[in-house]
Structure 1
């Protein structure tokens, strides 16, 4: 047994010293060193990609590639205590060509002692679109100042056009260090159509909330930003609109009421809202959380979808029921109108317009409660959901109810309903679907102010005046006169001429309402001396000389009344108060161009282009100044840049075509001028320029057609008439040539070109005799 055990030990190399090799200490040391090296190599292999990414990121930041993702950035002028808005903030949420920017802001950090700083967070309705100068945030500032004259209030509106809760959450994170005492949150209108919404045109539609968070976090890296830019230029260009087209961009992105993507949007909205409130707690700020009021009564749904009436005979039946109901309503047979409308709803219960028509019929019959319910259903079923629906407002109320003392619910939706006829808000507060008119902005601001007051410290509240300032008093402080009102209403009339408004039921009535408002304003302006309005601005500026918005308001009025020199002074004040922002320089440069002070205009517009190089309007005005100075090559380069920034800008195409003609690059000019006519068929200037070039290139008939259309569009366009006269003269049609020349001389008997052409006509006539 012992021998066998010994034999096994020898066979295994574990026996006596004679039966095995002696241990080699050096060998074990080499094997250990190899293991260490192997582990070091593995660690390097694992860390190398990360190190490469870090190096790339640092290099990209060093050369200025990519963009800062913060909402507020240090003052480019070097004032260490000032933060300004970041024009690139929206780059993570929009394709480069569609990016939206915040309004001009300058905020001191840290907050001045004794100041109550209030941040407003929201979308375009909270901003005050179409004129943020008269938005609810501006009214709120005056209301609080007048209520508490011994306290300094600072209302900073961080709202932006086209964003939604995904972007507002990011803004909230940046506000933590900005010293805000109270946040006012008013959001929901863009939840379906904004970034990551179910109907968005800006990128993925309603992805899971977690994916959105990961994507936004990764886009903080400059490397990811650069990769996205490359993808947009190489791959994604055909997947998004080439330039901003407003609400018309969304027409093909219909979201049926039962689309499962809506549920993902609601979940994301709730998560983002909770996150915003969490950021407010981290900042030590109290919150006024507002529901969102929308136009329910005077805004028909933008698009209706119901599978029952997807086409064919069912659609015809539905339209027939609509017609019968409307005829009965027009003939003052309200019960019958309701009956036909109910049949339409029975046929297509998820058809938003059927619900809206039923609501209208019930309203006419005086069935207020039923009408209110149907108006809300029509909004909730709208397949182009540009309005905050009932579900979103319910989420806001639910989230607010779970919060502590630092959050108060401001139920603006119910407040507006209580102040509207029949309890359904309409045109008494809104221009269109969500944007508030002057009365609406005051009402919202007053309701906000009452809730802000509840969050103020008791020592401040003890000094309150008895009453809130009236709307008229607020508008005096804001420098709001009928000249400004007219400008805003005229802009809204133009806006309502575009899709999707033009396809709404009762669209003509919407426009007629605004046109009647314009007529009233025109009558009041004619009956009011401009000096009285001017005194309003001067009084307001005495109280707030450092308010750039007041200077903008005054400049707009002065331009409208023809005092260009004084208007220029106001725009220069804007530039001095907001030296980091392009808009004041742009307006000053445009005005200087009109005054033919081209050197000064060039300087102002070059400054605007340096501060914001991606605004096509700035490049167009700058290019036109280069052209007016006769510097054609500089004009061509600038206008080409404008065309690249916005391929749909009609003035850019027109001016570039005209400049190329001057450079004798006529074959390049022709497609530009054709594009100018295509983009704006009602432009007499574009048709005239195209007609002139076509005749020069030998396309006589087409050129004549364009010149005649230009004259039809603008009968006072003398250059087009003289071009047409020259064409008739060259063709030997002396009678038509004489008619055109005489029409020009009737307006200006000393018109040099007309007199020269007339002399040529007389010589030709004499030669024929």
Structure 2
């Protein structure tokens, strides 16, 4: 038998080996792709820049403001998020400046009033009176419907800007505020996911995905729903959805835990950067606001019955028992727009643990209320103070600041009582601002949860404007007219009536509201000078000059002092104005007069000569020149 030859077997094909860099590039290709998309989106300015502070206004290139877009970061699906207060501060901190940042929610922002009525503005005005030689920057970072997640972000930013002090008044919004545990503006109610979202949403690519999901979801929801959208929902309605939070439930506990963890993060940031802090307890309306939602929970009565018992005790004069019951009824309220007592317990604990001064606003409000129970005497709704209440918060902080943080030797001799009286007398607030606030309160308290959901707002419907002020206030609230336009309209009206003081008051509100808007100063001062109201004009000129000393302020300060016969002061200011500009014939004419009255005829003659070079037709200047020429020649 012949042995059959075997054919050679081809070796198996070996997989091709690629160099290491190939696998590295393949693994990172998706990331490179995302980076290119991110770069493209930024180049084409897609999305929002969520830096906390920015140069918002080109007119004030040396000032930083709270970024007007930053609220969009925290309100995940709200079309019109709350706005920021325009409290500017110098990018480069100036010498002799004491810088205070205020962290908080709508009560810090001063709702329902304009910022002039907020406690940070009250505080700044009193500090300026007490320490006239210091420059105070009190930057109000308060914003409606935010929680401590927002405040933690703001703290990370503010420590980079040389704060001398931080004031914190917060805690009402841990349930329904942005990213709160029961809020419609929450990612999933879990701290880890909220923190992940806050980190990722800075990327424009993530904003693109978010906007795409909103668009798709909005189309699907509108196509499937037969319900008509609710019109004119208040921010409270939009934030709460349908979520109740029974006392001691898992959701209740989650809110308390969220508050403490975020506050500890804030405390650690400030301690690490050696920034002094004043914490504050919270206040709310106990006797004047019945519980919004009363539900039975195991081991506890319902909130409504406890509130009724509290009213009976109050009526009987047993205020101590009534106070405890009102507090208990608030804690049992399952619609948690008011911070439960556990929030104040945490604030007190953190104050002791970190050895921080505590502004006991809760105690101050009880002390200032009948029977020692905070109610409608200091509140406009469930938790927002009235004007007197905001002033009381400022007073409580002021006592600590003046006692612990500012040298008494730098202060004026004014007593605290006189300080508060003068500040109140000069309060930049008019009837127009009051009516605007009243209308905002009606919009809120005539809607859910103060009234049935979806019910007609009877408080708003019943309002009838009785005069020009009421009409202008309606236009502002309905966003037909801006606040500035309304105040100027009212100022024009008073001006036509020759009520110059009232006209000046309307514009002065805007000056205090936006002190960096110098055009308001100049418009008011020009109006006053035109009708020879020099005393009022001098007051605003001095304030304007302190903020921004320029050719305009020095010219008119000098001119008014010249008219009053204070020749040396007049010359000082007019010379300062001349250092800014040498081409103003009116300035040169007044400067010539000041030189002459200060026995400097040669300088007077040179000034009037320059005046005529610019405006040779000026008859008054020609006459003055003719008088000065022989005098100067005789001195040669």
TM-score between the two structures when normalised by the length of structure 2: 0.66
Show the 5 A alignment for 1:560-639.
Answer: none
Which moved further from structure 2: 152-161 or 454-463?
A: 454-463
| Post-superposition offset of 1:430 | 0.6
For residues 514 and 107 of structure 2, the distance between their equivalents in structure 1, rounded to whole angstroms, comes to 27
CA drift at 1:289: 0.9
Among 40, 46, 57, the residue aligned to 2:27: 46
The change in CA–CA distance for 1:174 and 1:244 in structure 2 (over 3 A counts) is farther
* Cα distance change of structure 1 residues 542 and 43 upon mapping to structure 2, 3 Å threshold: closer
**Is residue 59 of structure 2 the alignment partner of residue 70 of structure 1?**
no
Match of 1:256 in 2: 246
Deviations 1:8-33 (CA, angstroms, capped at 9, x unpaired): xxxxxxxxxxxxxxxxxxxxxxx9xx
Out of 61, 71, 81, which is 1:99 matched to? 81
Contact 2:294 2:304 (8 Å CA) reproduced:
yes
What residue number does 2:117 align with?
Answer: 134
SS of equivalent residue, structure 2 residue 197? helix
Cα gap change, 1:197/1:47 in structure 2, threshold over 3 Å: closer, same or farther?
same
Return the index of the structure with the highest Cα Rg.
1
Q: Is the 8 A contact 2:130 2:414 kept in 1?
A: yes
Indicate the residue corresponding to 2:149 in structure 1: 166
- The answer on 1:374 being equivalent to 2:325 is yes
SS at match of 2:279: strand
Q: Distance in 2 between matches of 1:545 and 1:349?
A: 50
Cα root mean square deviation, aligned? 3.7
Query: Which of 47, 62, 73 is the matching residue for 1:81?
Result: 62
Name the residue aligned to 1:424.
Answer: 373
- Tell me if the contact between 1:182 and 1:452 (Cα under 8 Å) persists in the aligned partners: no
Paired residue for 1:246? 235
Query: How do 1:190-589 residues align onto structure 2 when only pairs under 5 Å count?
Result: 190-204=173-187, 206-207=189-190, 209-235=191-217, 238=221, 245-249=234-238, 250=240, 252-306=242-296, 349-404=300-355, 407-458=356-407, 465-469=414-418, 471-502=420-451, 533-534=502-503, 536=505, 546=515
Note the C-alpha offset of 1:96: 4.6
Q: Does 1:121 align with 2:103?
A: yes
* C-alpha displacement of 1:205: 5.2
Cα deviation, 1:184-214, whole Å, max 9, x if unaligned, reads 110111111112223312234532x222111
The C-alpha deviation readout for 1:135-157, integer Å capped at 9, x for no partner, is 11111111111121221211111
Equivalent position SS for 2:357:
strand
SS of structure 1 residue aligned to 2:416: coil
Q: 1:411 to 1:176 in 2, by over 3 A?
A: same
Aligned partners of 2:255 and 2:93: how far apart in 1?
A: 36
- Per the TM alignment, residue 355 of structure 1 is displaced from its structure 2 partner at its CA by 1.1
Determine the C-alpha separation between the residues in 2 that align with 1:439 and 1:529: 31
How big is the shift at 1:241?
Answer: 7.7
Native 8 Å contact 1:147 1:469 kept in 2? no
Aligned pairs for 1:8-47 within 5 A: 37-47=18-28
CA distance in 2, matches of 1:146, 1:466: 10
Structure 2 unpaired stretches of 5+ = 1-13, 223-228, 471-496, 528-636
Structure 1 gaps, min length 5: 1-30, 309-347, 523-527, 559-769
1:274-307 C-alpha deviation (Å, 9 max, x unpaired): 1222232344421111111111111111111116
Query: 8 Å contact 1:69–1:220 — kept in the other structure?
Result: yes
Say if 2:112 is the partner of 1:112.
no
The answer to whether the 8 A contact 1:254-1:384 is kept is yes
2:542 maps to what in 1?
none
Tell whether the 8 Å contact from 1:198 to 1:255 is kept in structure 2 after alignment.
no
Higher helix share: 1
Cα shift at 1:266:
1.2
**Contact 1:206–1:265 (CA<8 Å) still a contact in 2?**
no
1:97–1:243: 8 Å Cα contact kept in structure 2? no
Give the whole-Å Cα distance in 2 for the aligned partners of 1:370 and 1:67.
52
Q: Aligned residues, how many?
A: 469
Aligned-pair distance for 1:230? 1.0
Q: Label 1:298 to 1:534 Cα distance change in 2 as closer, same or farther (>3 A).
A: same
SS at match of 2:401: helix
Kept after mapping to 1: 8 A contact 2:56/2:68: no
Partner SS, residue 97 of structure 1: coil
TM-score normalised to the size of structure 1? 0.56
Deviation at 1:535, TM superposition (A): 5.5
* Secondary structure class of the residue paired with 1:268: helix
Judging changes above 3 Å, is the alpha-carbon distance between structure 1 residues 67 and 402 closer, same or farther for their aligned structure 2 residues? same
The CA deviation string for residues 230-278 of structure 1, in whole angstroms up to 9 with x for no partner, is: 1111125749989753223326222222331121121111111112222
Query: 3-state SS of the aligned residue for 1:254?
Result: coil
Alpha-carbon distance in 2 for matches of 1:366, 1:282: 49
Render the CA deviation track for 1:615-638: whole Å, top value 9, x for unaligned. Answer: xxxxxxxxxxxxxxxxxxxxxxxx
